[in-house]
Amino acid sequence: MAKYVAQQTGKNVEDVPYDVLTSPQLKEEFGQATFFTATDGNHGRGVAWAANKLGQKAVVFMPKGSTEYRRKQIENEGATVTIEEFNYDECVRLATKKSKEVPNGVVVQDTAWEGYEEIPNWIMQGYGTMAMETANQLESENCKVPTHVFVQAGVGSLAGAVVGYFTNLYSNATKKPKLVVVEAEAAACLYKGAVADDGNPRIVEGDLETIMAGLACGEPNTVSWDILRNHADVFVSAPDWVARLGMRVGGAPIKGDTPITTGESGAVPLGLVTAIMTMPEYEDLRKELELDASSKVLCFSTEGDTDPERYKNIMWYGEDR
């Protein structure tokens, strides 16, 4: 959003630090806009937060099944938020349509499609920051190159940024890490595209019911799909129990490890690694991935207890709602 404001006012984003961005002078220069987005929670909360700081309006559409807690968190940032009767991908279309009905309506969507690529590319660059910070942290922990990277995907913007970053960073490494993309089974569009193996993405329709709300997206980001199909090594379609397993292993790890509060969409990489390493039925996958005691595995956890009530229900009572 900073990049958009900078672009519209003829500036470089580097020349617009936070205090300038949020100043009344810049607001006057930029004018009044309304930022539209669809979200299953986290992205929309970010858009609403930023619009609030910029003195701009935000309108956010959430898919069927979104929790009232997550809706409220976005509303608390001053946005207009509704839970719709259809899935994330339909909400994206609604946001696009509605943005055209008001003056200065701008779609800030975390997925790309043909003809809408500039803003999602900026969002992917933003996600790349996570990969960069991780690489710096690995370096400081004396891990030059991990053997495996597990990253979760909804539309694939985050995974595309992470896979793109590490592919580039380790392009000269003697042994490159295996890059694993994991999706919620109910919305495994990238996985289906990989299985079809004809270069074309696949779309998953319907309610996309999964506890991994952040990953409940059935239509891939077209830019990410291109990166992932060329550079990811393995695509995994994971049922909800894998996410629950990751949440529990994170929250109650083996003695001596630091507990991590990792929510449904955040925990699925850790859950997957745990399943592969501990369950005999996944031995084939373990061998295929060459995972063993010498592996140095990097997992991304992208959310904490973003819905604390649901987090508690899963962790304490083994319930999904």
Q: Compute how many residues bind ligand PLP; rule: CB under 6 A.
A: 19
Q: Tell me how far apart the alpha carbons of residues 160 and 224 are, in angstroms, rounded to a whole number.
A: 5
Please give the residues from 113 up to 152 whose contact with ligand PLP meets the rule CB under 6 A. 152
Task: Rule CB under 6 A: choose which of 37, 67, 147, 265 binds ligand PLP.
Answer: 265
Task: Rule CB under 6 A: choose which of 56, 157, 237, 274 binds ligand PLP.
Answer: 157
Judged by CB, which is closer to ligand PLP: 4, or 88? 88
Task: Rule CB under 6 A: choose which of 177, 266, 269, 271 binds ligand PLP.
Answer: 266
110 interacts with ligand PLP by CB under 6 A: yes
Task: Rule CB under 6 A: choose which of 146, 154, 246, 269 binds ligand PLP.
Answer: 154
Task: Rule CB under 6 A: choose which of 43, 148, 202, 248 binds ligand PLP.
Answer: 43
Q: Which of 321, 302, 307, 317 is nearest to 74 (CA)?
A: 307
- Supply 31's token pair: 């004018």
Q: Tell me how far apart the alpha carbons of residues 59 and 218 are, in angstroms, rounded to a whole number.
A: 22
> Which of 52-60, 154-162, 278-286, 291-299 is the region at the interface with ligand PLP (rule: CB under 6 A)?
154-162
Q: Which of 275, 31, 225 is nearest to 124 (CA)?
A: 225
Judged by CB, which is closer to ligand PLP: 208, or 249? 208
- Give the residues across from 149 on adjacent strands: 179, 298
Q: Tell me how far apart the alpha carbons of residues 46 and 51 are, in angstroms, rounded to a whole number.
A: 9
How would you label 160-186 residue by residue, b for 16+ Cβ within 10 Å and e otherwise? bbbbbbbbebbeeeeebbbbbbbbbbb
CA–CA–CA angle 36, 37, 40 (5° rounding): 155
275 interacts with ligand PLP by CB under 6 A: no
Least distance from C-beta 154 to ligand PLP, angstroms? 3
Q: Tell me how far apart the alpha carbons of residues 95 and 98 are, in angstroms, rounded to a whole number.
A: 5
155 interacts with ligand PLP by CB under 6 A: yes
At 256, which amino acid appears? G
Judged by CB, which is closer to ligand PLP: 153, or 298? 153
Task: Rule CB under 6 A: choose which of 159, 179, 211, 297 binds ligand PLP.
Answer: 159
- Which parts of this chain interact with ligand PLP (CB under 6 A)? 41-43, 110, 152-159, 214-215, 217, 265-266, 302-303
